[in-house]
Amino acid sequence: MDFQLSDEQNLLRESVRTFTKQRSPIGRFRKVRDQRHGWDRAVWREMGELGWLSLPFPESAGGFGGTLLDVSLLLEAFGATLVPEPYLASVVFAGTALLHAGTAQQHERWLAPLIDGSSSLALAHAEREHRFDAQPRSTTATRDGDGWHVRGTKAFVANGHHADVLVVSANDRGHSLLFAVAREHPALRIDAVRTIDGLGAATVTIDGHIGDEYRLAGGDAAVALERAHDAGAAMAVAEGLGICQAVLGLTVGHLRTREQFGVAIGSFQALQHRAVEMFVEVELMRSVAVLAAVRADDDDESTRRRAVSAAKVQLSSGGRFITQQAIQLHGGIGITDEHDVGLYFKRMHALGVMFGDEEHHVRRFADDPIFAPTA
């Protein structure tokens, strides 16, 4: 299989890398993470003007008509400098759910402002009682006159504390539903929570009447949620790949310049071996990340799930190994907030549990029907 990028994809990758180096180096992450909004709406609008927010959406929905492989080039570069804008949470996760479940009119109403950078989305889905389940369980939707009474609590909603519109999942007697609700809606209560990576999230409590016009009615919500989770997981691996490459570069540079006993510590064979092991894990992640990005657009559920789960397992195990080794090889400075490697480690830890942790994806891979015993 030919994994060479097209000329257009190479141009996209280089333009994104230039943008992140000039407009969003890792030092910017430190500046904005403690601000009230946590990211810059002006930068978000600029991403819209560049066409990046429209990249994964078809032309029929006002998008560019790109693929998730194209998107992975963005996320890889964003991971390398810890770009704080909520591309993964808003465009990939929430946007994919809205795309597959919404009507053309609903795309115009809620996707169009996202695409031009004037708003952001969040998918309020995870429930404490049903960790990593792609379908809602404890949040219920009950018919109530000309709409629905939706009741439940969603945990660790990425970008939920800043999103203009929240896409909320609910269960109607075993059937999944999705609702697009403005953050000012009286049925919503949004409480910001701190997260290990510094980006923050929200606990979203919903209890009230939601009009029928807010229910996404253009497709199967259950399928949309499955596609959103797989897209999110695959793109989390792409972002993690960018982090791992940056961490490896920092570590190799440190080994070459840090001296002990009058020589660079990189001359010690034991440390060279550990750096090589980090390199091997990075290359493994690169391979599964590319395959997951290609397969994440596949309509065949089994093919898509296997590739995504395999990549997510490598992200959890390999990403943890790479960032832990980087901290150890940097010594005491590696655990401080002032050093970049600590920031990468925290974001990697967050990505490892987003959209399913290692145990979840090992189990999901093993449960695939292709492995079922034949009579």
Mention every residue, 6+ apart, whose C-beta is less than 8 A from residue 272.
Answer: 255, 266
Q: Which of 184, 145, 152 is nearest to 168 (CA)?
A: 152
Exposed (0-12), middle (13-18) or buried (19+): which is 317, by Cβ within 10 Å?
A: middle
CATH number of the 7-119 domain: 1.10.540.10
> CA 118 to CA 338: how far, in whole Å?
33
Tell me whether residue 42 is exposed, middle or buried, using C-beta atoms within 10 angstroms of its C-beta: 0 to 12, 13 to 18, 19 or more.
exposed
- H or E element that contains 155: strand 147-158
By the 10 Å C-beta count (0-12 exposed, 13-18 middle, 19+ buried), 320 is classed as middle
Please give the Cα distance from 327 to 335 (Å, whole number): 6
Angle at 358 between CA 317 and CA 153, to 5 degrees: 135
Domain ranges of the chain: 7-119, 122-219, 222-371
Distance (Å, rounded) from C-alpha 252 to C-alpha 95? 38
Residues in the chain: 375
Locus of tokens 């998107």: 71
**Half-sphere exposure for 19 (CA within 13 Å, toward CB):** 21
* Count of Cβ atoms closer than 10 Å to residue 267 Cβ: 13
pLDDT tens-digit series, residues 202-249: 999 999 999 999 999 999 999 999 999 999 999 999 999 999 999 999
Tell me, which fold does domain 222-371 have in CATH? Butyryl-CoA Dehydrogenase, subunit A; domain 3 (1.20.140)
- pLDDT tens for the chain, 375 residues long, are 556 888 899 999 999 999 999 999 999 998 888 777 789 999 999 999 999 999 999 999 999 999 999 999 999 999 999 999 999 999 999 999 999 999 999 999 999 999 999 999 999 999 998 889 999 999 999 999 999 999 999 999 999 999 999 999 999 999 999 999 999 999 999 999 999 999 999 999 999 999 999 999 999 999 999 999 999 999 999 999 999 999 999 999 999 998 788 888 888 999 999 999 999 999 999 999 999 999 999 999 999 999 999 999 999 999 999 999 999 999 878 888 888 999 999 999 999 999 999 999 999 999 988 887 765
Is the pTM higher than 0.85?
A: yes
Report DSSP state, residue 127: B
DSSP symbols for 261-330: TTEEGGGSHHHHHHHHHHHHHHHHHHHHHHHHHHHTT-S-HHHHHHHHHHHHHHHHHHHHHHHHHHHHHH
Q: Confirm or reject CATH 3.40.50.300 for domain 122-219, answering yes or no.
A: no
How confident is the model over 44-53, as pLDDT tens digits? 999 999 999 9
| Tokens linked to 309 | 């789960």
DSSP bridge pairs for 192 = 202
How many whole angstroms separate alpha carbon 12 and alpha carbon 174?
Answer: 43
Contacts of residue 154, defined as CB under 8 A and 6 or more positions apart, other chains included, come to: 124, 125, 126, 127, 139, 160, 168, 169, 203, 204, 205, 206
CA distance 335 to 113: 40
The region that residue 272 occupies, defined by phi over 0 for left and psi between -120 and 50 for alpha, beta otherwise, is alpha
149's enclosing H/E stretch is strand 147-158
Taking each helix axis as running N to C, give the angle between helix 301-330 and helix 221-257, from 0 to 180 degrees, rounded to the nearest 10. Answer: 30
Answer whether 190's CB lies under 8 Å from 162's CB. Answer: no
- Partners of residue 193 on adjacent β-strands: 201
Looking at the DSSP bridge assignments, the partners of residue 158 are 201
Tell me which residue has tokens 């970008």.
159
What gap in Å lies between CA 225 and CA 235, rounded to an integer? 15
pLDDT, tens only, 241-270: 999 999 999 999 999 998 788 888 888 999
- Output phi, psi for 178, to 5 deg: -130, 140
